[in-house]
Structure 1
Amino acid sequence: MRSAGCTSCVDIAGAHALRPLSETVGLGYAFRMRWTVPNILTTMRLLAAPGVAVMFLYFNRPWADWLALALFVTAAITDFFDGYLARLWKQESRYGAMLDPIADKAMVVIAIMVITGYSGMNPWLILPATVILFREVFVSGLREFLGDKSHHLKVTRLAKWKTTAQMIAIAVLFLGTGLAYLEAGRPPRAGEGDVPVNISHAAVANWIGLALIWAAAGLTAVTGWDYLRKAAPFLKDTP
């Protein structure tokens, strides 16, 4: 006959044996819940950010420009759909809330670096690019410093407009760099010599892109100041 003590031992051993299994099942369930369609889209956007730069390493221009443009635009579109689908399907998650702004910043920062390099370090592009990069680093530092109080720096509607303006400007600038490379390597078109002032498609795209990036830089500066204002009470030294 099995003693009560042995039964207790078996129960304890069984509990220890079953606990890792239950924890594994729990983690598996959480993992499956995390990888919803909205979160997959956000993750793909994050991975697309370095992909924009990689295009210029493995492809010749202008193919690199067109592929980078296509990848950037596709990733930018997911920025709308991941949030929309998460709200529609009630699949909002902490993972998505954490990764979404990181993916946006990675896309913008890497793309601006690539465009600035291939623009010949155009000073009209360097200044707004500097404002954008400075603000992104500054706000990220604020959030890291605030720690558990960083929820006071929630993404505002104006900040979302800022991100949209940045992405549209970058897409137009990518178009301009690709067109400029094509037009630089083609022979003159018939009749171009008779035109006093020849305004190329690349020039138009670059002008529009520069105007948009300056507008985006303005929104970027405003939202940066707004975040600093909200964080100011938590930056004071207590007596």
Structure 2
Amino acid sequence: MTWTIPNVLTALRLLAAPMIAVMFLLFPRPFADFFALGLFVVASLTDYLDGYLARKWKQVTKLGAMLDPIADKAMVVIALMIIVAFSSMSLLLLLPAAVILFREVFVSGLREFLGDTAGTLKVTKLAKWKTATQMVAIAVLFAQGIFEHYFGMWSWGMDYNTLTQILSGEIDDELGLRAMYQGEAWTRSGGLMLIWLAALLTFVTGLDYFRKATPYLKD
């Protein structure tokens, strides 16, 4: 095995995946959401960086080719698990999350079954867009948790009329409650749209891989 810098970055991304769950064991919310978001964003950026460096420095290796898709899937699967478990929108996220998880398991199973012929299931441009959309959606949903809980913390104990007047602009907003409320609303709607788009792309790419694998599944 060759431990180049791109391979080290990929391995660190793989290790970062379970650390996202650990954040929710070590810290209360919304701090757990904040640290998970930071860890997820930094790890996601290495997905581009390790590939770029491997191609630029001509350090593409079998180890990197094996670890890279595993790290991506681990990041997405664990982050989705945490979000569905802790989000106030769990019921709205359950179906797209299930579609994404099912596809990842299904395609991994196809590749394992095909063995030496798995090269027929090369990553397509649409699949790369799928992964990018998944990661952006997850980052936005982590941000939604931050806005939601900070808004809840600062508005705790306020009577309904006062809170309504602050949000409507009738009363000066010294704590930034309006910004928190708007941020929560934007990330909620944006996160939902992105995760459903990611689920759609995930479904389409899964069908594409199955179509390509069909000739090798015939008796």
- Report the TM-score when normalising by structure 2: 0.89
Please identify the structure whose Cα radius of gyration is greater: 1
Tell me the alpha carbon deviations over residues 12-47 of structure 1, each in whole angstroms, 9 at most, x when there is no partner: xxxxxxxxxxxxxxxxxxx4xx11110001000000
Q: Compute the displacement of 1:123 (Å).
A: 2.1
**Where does the alignment leave 5 or more consecutive residues of structure 1 unmatched?**
1-30
TM-fit CA distance, 1:200: 3.5
Q: TM-score, normalised by structure 1?
A: 0.81
Structure 2 residue aligned with 1:214: 196
Alignment of 1:149-168 (within 5 A): 149-168=117-136
CA distance in 2 between partners of 1:172 and 1:54 (Å): 19
The answer to whether 1:141 aligns with 2:123 is no
Residue aligning to 1:193: 164
- Which residue among 170, 174, 186 is the counterpart of 2:142? 174
Please report how far the alpha carbon of residue 191 of structure 1 lies from its aligned counterpart in structure 2 after TM superposition.
6.2
- 1:72-151 aligned within 5 A: 72-120=40-88, 122-151=90-119
Q: Which amino acid aligns with 1:107?
A: M
Partner of residue 27, structure 2: 59
| Larger RCO, structure (CA 8 Å, separation 6 or more) | 2
| Number of positions where the alignment pairs a residue of Structure 1 with one of Structure 2 | 205
CA distance in 1, matches of 2:208, 2:102: 15
Distance (whole Å) between structure 2 residues aligned to residue 191 and residue 155 of structure 1 = 54
Within a 5 Å distance, the mapping from 1:220-235 to structure 2 comes to 220-235=202-217
Q: Report what 1:24 is aligned to.
A: none
Structure 1 residue 107 displacement after superposition: 0.2
Q: Deviations over 1:161-203 (max 9, x none)?
A: 1000000000000000111111112225996423569854212
SS at match of 1:186: helix
Which is further off, 120-129 or 202-211? Answer: 120-129
How big is each residue's C-alpha offset from its partner over 1:93-148, in whole Å with a ceiling of 9 and x where there is no partner? 11111110000000000000000011146222111111100100100010111111
Q: Aligned partner of 1:210: which letter?
A: L
Which piece of structure 1 moves more, 177-186 or 74-83?
A: 177-186
Work out the CA distance in 1 between the residues paired with 2:183 and 2:145: 11
- The offset of 1:157, in angstroms, is 1.1
Indicate the percent of aligned positions where both proteins have the same amino acid. Answer: 59
C-alpha distance in structure 1 between counterparts of 2:164 and 2:197, whole Å? 35
Q: Take 1:196 and 1:75, find their aligned partners in 2: how far apart are those partners? A: 39
Q: Distance in 1 between matches of 2:138 and 2:216?
A: 34
CA distance in 1, matches of 2:105, 2:88: 24
RMSD: 1.9
- Provide the rounded CA distance (Å) in 2 between the counterparts of 1:117 and 1:124: 12
